[in-house]
Structure 1
């Protein structure tokens, strides 16, 4: 049985695919978006497009600083979410003494986004960290990547891109070395997610992301699951009440990763929805922040 069919079967026992906002105890997308948003004075362009920039969150003190590379979610679509929704957790990590290299990129609903642009942007922004590390006193010996939702897919993809065949426009000869990845409410197995009708992102997002209409094997250089084993430690952190990226999605990827010999950890957080994972006041985020701090030391 294909993994996507298994995923559909697992989802039959879950709540309907609706927003977590249906449960008043959970943090909703709308509530998080309207909060007063912290900002950083450090914005660094890595290309000429308005979406090709990094927001750098620097802790107080002389450094050098442990560094987390961060990628926002939003179903790979700017109309859903952009970098700003991760400002809350980026600022929280900054206050904990961890620098955050928070990446913006062209999305599938923007000119130049999709395949290969979205992936090339994320790769270029990650590699630009090395260029600016000395200026901002960023440590590069133990860079940890993390991402929320669609951003988690991109974070895991960064760990895998060194394995991409030279014939692909996404091939990398000298990619930034990552020490670990933390996937937060992610969708790491694109093929399985698409077989389950795209889960919370719907059936159209992934085909646009991977250029499915023009390619015969569009997952081989875009899906972390197709590039296993990744060869570094990673954490799959999901909320038990997440209806956008359900536990079944992360679990299926974790099982596949373990079977391929990777060192992966699966953590399911109780009473946690999709946006509780990136709200800095929650127990869920406190756990994730602790993991990121430990890994980047």
Structure 2
């Protein structure tokens, strides 16, 4: 056997062993008593659906995943990460496919990026995407009363922020003119979530997203933090996070989880051991399965 072939086999075995080890390294805080059975269904995808109004500062698009069947489908609004400055919806298409295969309509969207656009532009983009789902529910067999959110990293920050702002009575400035009760979410899945921006320094990503340093605009850092708006009216959350995350420390998820519980809001926390920020996304299969069960429990018809 040639040396390069031996190396290739060893790398493959090492990758498999790593996946098996990491797959078993998780703690599920506040886990449900009974798991949900996941059933598969076929789906189609409408790529490049424009959801932004014609007069919006930038045209924005999403991919709409539609499960088979004539019944109304619960919906997941999917938001990608990338430090608010990059990446695209293609990063998170694999999760969109998994959710669609279990009966969820999924709208996987892009949004305006920093530094060309600063906060709250990105929040406004999510709010108009949520409104688009309301306006087009009948055409695509969407259940507008069962719209949920899913995001990772900066996408988790944005979807959590929209959900918590919409359910709070103390967020009028961020609910106007595009948000409010019509942009509320039924449940939220958030991975690697920057929940309290005031706990970070003033690094490049935050400076260009918010438009300045924490010392210069402390109120903006607080206003842009999802944890600011947690109330007893907040929707239930499923949080997943790597406990070795050095970019967004695990305590961000733990603090949001504890704050939700302290306000009487259901929260589940899937702690992914030995995972950093990127690896918690790349090896998120078990977390996504648990999150899918969480969404199915919260989207059962009465």
What is the TM-score with the length of structure 1 in the denominator?
Answer: 0.74
Structure 1 residue 126, shift from structure 2 partner = 1.5
Contact 2:64 2:106 in 1 (8 A): yes
Structure 1 residue 228, shift from structure 2 partner = 2.0
Structure 1 residues 220 and 240: CA distance shift in structure 2, 3 A = closer
Contact 1:88 1:280 in 2 (8 A): no
Structure 1 residue 178, shift from structure 2 partner = 1.2
**Structure 1 residue aligned with 2:146:** 142
Q: Matched residue of 1:76: which SS?
A: coil
Output the aligned Cα RMSD: 3.0
Q: Say whether residues 1:132 and 2:136 are aligned partners.
A: yes
Q: Say whether residues 1:262 and 2:270 are aligned partners.
A: no
Q: Which has the larger radius of gyration?
A: 2
Which of 32, 45, 51 aligns to 2:50? It is: 45
**Structure 1 residue aligned with 2:4:** none
Contact 1:188 1:224 in 2 (8 A): yes
Structure 1 residues 220 and 276: CA distance shift in structure 2, 3 A = closer
Q: Matched residue of 2:67: which SS?
A: coil
Structure 1 residues 65 and 292: CA distance shift in structure 2, 3 A = same
Where do 1:70-85 residues align within 5 Å? Answer: 70-78=78-86, 81-85=87-91
Aligned length: 254
What is the TM-score with the length of structure 2 in the denominator?
Answer: 0.73
Q: Distance in 2 between matches of 1:228 and 1:76?
A: 22
Contact 2:187 2:295 in 1 (8 A): no
Gaps of 5+ in 2: 1-13, 21-43
1 or 2 for the larger relative contact order (CA 8 Å, sep ≥6)? 1
**Structure 1 residue aligned with 2:226:** 224
Structure 1 residues 250 and 88: CA distance shift in structure 2, 3 A = same
Structure 1 residue 209, shift from structure 2 partner = 2.0
Structure 1 residue 204, shift from structure 2 partner = 1.6
**Bigger proportion of residues as strand:** 2
Q: Distance in 1 between matches of 2:124 and 2:143?
A: 23
Q: What are the superposed Cα offsets for residues 116-145 of structure 1, whole Å, 9 maximum, x if unpaired?
A: 311211111112110111110011222221
Q: Say whether residues 1:88 and 2:91 are aligned partners.
A: no
Contact 2:257 2:269 in 1 (8 A): yes
Q: Matched residue of 1:115: which SS?
A: coil
Q: Distance in 2 between matches of 1:275 and 1:289?
A: 20
Where do 1:50-199 residues align within 5 Å? Answer: 52-78=60-86, 81-109=87-115, 111=116, 113-162=117-166, 163=168, 164-167=170-173, 170=176, 172-192=179-199, 194-195=200-201
Gaps of 5+ in 1: 1-22, 28-38, 198-202
Where do 1:218-257 residues align within 5 Å? Answer: 218-229=220-231, 231-257=234-260
Q: Distance in 2 between matches of 1:281 and 1:181?
A: 16
Which of 272, 284, 287 aligns to 2:287? It is: 284
